[in-house]
Amino acid sequence: MHENEFLETENEEYEHHRFIVDPGQVSMRIDVYLAQKLGKKTSRTRIKYAAEADCIRVNDKPVKVSYKIKPRDVITIVLPTPPPPECEPEYVPLDIIYEDEHLIVLNKPAGLVVHPGVGNYHGTLVQGLMWYFNTLPIKQGNEHRPGLVHRIDKNTSGLLVVAKTELAMVKLAKQFFDHIIERKYIALVWGDVKQNKGTIIANIIRSPNDRKIYTVSKDNTQGRYAVTHYQVLERFGNATLLALQLETGRTHQIRVHMKHIGHTLFADETYGGDSILVGQQTQKYKQFIQNCFQICSRQALHAHTLGFIHPFTNQKMYFEQPLPQDMQMLIEKWRKYTV
């Protein structure tokens, strides 16, 4: 039996496979078994790296590639997601915060697309990374691939960690899978968030009306489990500045969860935050909001901090990136308006 979960998320790029060995299965090495089961989706080398990173488990215990499978063994393996569509390296300016032989941490500006795709075939972060690195993690066929283990939306700014080697990539993916990566965001949302702090627990699914967006599932047996913690940093009456911490990393998670509790991200066009949602419709107020939209014309969301364990030194790594200029100016404008 094979249960397969491709985790489609905003912050995590890994896949999770689960197998139950058939009662009549003959004994063999687990790397051979997994290579047969996964086929062209992976290689023996990638399976080897997964084992080295404790990403292969049998009955909830990590095993090495030499392990001989037994009937009814429950096998799980976590792997970085397959490579993005074929693309050519391009020069894209990269704001690198930290770099060593295993990984880099960079600050992604708002407006930069992470993966090439429909409507965005050039000038993406992936292509910029391909240009920048001399040696990249290898995918099947000995072709280079960027070592992305998580991502953020095009119009979200902030911190990303990128692996330089396949083993570093697998080890970092495991940390995301185990939810031990620390990620905090700063966001400006519509309305006065009443509680100073809180937690949103709500499954997220694709919208049945628009496949490009997501919504909270009305049935808690459907969708992907998602948890967001928030804390009020500053109040502006008709808007609130929040710090948000992700416990999971689903696609659009913060944007969907905040809309769900009635506090859509400011200027978030996709989820309706680019129109006046709170406040009296006076001419002065309308003009103020329009000026705000001109200052920050994208969702007011920034990946502010990132913490993880270095995959080789085991040192705790922690990074903090100040708000970009558009969000700084937006917040200052709200401060002055509410004085």
Q: What is the DSSP string of 188-250?
A: EEES---SSEEEEE--EEE-SS-TTSEEE-SSTTSSB--EEEEEEEEE-SSEEEEEEEESS-B
Q: Is the torsion defined by CA of 244, 154, 162, 15 positive or negative? A: positive
CA distances (Å), 30 to each of 38, 52, 155, 171, 173, in order? 12, 13, 42, 19, 21
CA–CA gap between residue 231 and residue 196 (Å, rounded): 6
Rounded CA gap, 97 and 318, in Å? Answer: 11
CA distance 108 to 123: 13
SS3 state at 337: helix
Which of 31, 73, 153, 274 does the annotation list as catalytic? Answer: 153
State CA 92 to chain mean position distance. Answer: 21
Element (H, E) at 52: helix 44-52
Query: Residue 108 has what DSSP assignment?
Result: E
Question: Both ends of the chain: CA-CA distance in Å?
Answer: 63
What ranges in 269-318 are assigned the alpha helix state H? 283-295
* CB neighbourhood size of 23 (10 A): 7
Residues in the chain, total = 339
Q: What is the CA radius of gyration of the chain?
A: 22
Residues 6+ apart with CB under 8 A from 150: 9, 10, 11, 12, 13, 160, 161, 176, 181, 249
Query: Is 210 an annotated catalytic residue?
Result: no
Catalytic residues: 153
